[in-house]
Amino acid sequence: QKEVEQNSGPLSVPEGAIASLNCTYSDRGSQSFFWYRQYSGKSPELIMSIYSNGDKEDGRFTAQLNKASQYVSLLIRDSQPSDSATYLCAVGSSGGSYIPTFGRGTSLIVHP
């Protein structure tokens, strides 16, 4: 059974701070990793994808991957109240297909 684990939170950070969201996964052969943002009552939307070890930056978002430790994280710099949402980690199967396994998500609250 492939598992993706996230702390459910909520993670509360002040506006302007760095929010750090973490995720571990069980399938050592996984090759693709994704972060989705889900606002309350809305559908998940893809914000970051990462495929190789190291960091990938996109604006205020940085995804970090460590395959040896089976760990992926998302950093949000200069957090804004509009970043308040649930962040879902998703891990692609080792077969390389489109089929991700989702974590249950971490709730992030950015307070002014």
Partner 1 sequence: DAGVIQSPRHEVTEMGQEVTLRCKPISGHDYLFWYRQTMMRGLELLIYFNNNVPIDDSGMPEDRFSAKMPNASFSTLKIQPSEPRDSAVYFCASAGVSGYTFGSGTRLTVV
Give contact residues for partner 1 (rule: CB under 8 A): 34, 42-46, 88, 98-105
Nearer to partner 1, 98 or 112 (CB): 98
Residues 6+ apart with CB under 8 A from 1: 26
Tell which residue, 87, 76, 72, has the closest CA to residue 17.
76
Structure tokens at 5: 């684990």
Nearer to partner 1, 42 or 111 (CB): 42
Closest approach, Cβ 2 to partner 1, in A, equals 11
Closest approach, Cβ 55 to partner 1, in A, equals 22
The 8-class DSSP code of residue 78 comes to S
Q: How many residues does the chain have?
A: 112
Nearer to partner 1, 74 or 88 (CB): 88
Closest approach, Cβ 43 to partner 1, in A, equals 4
Instruction: Look at the block and give the residue holding tokens 């760095």.
Output: 18
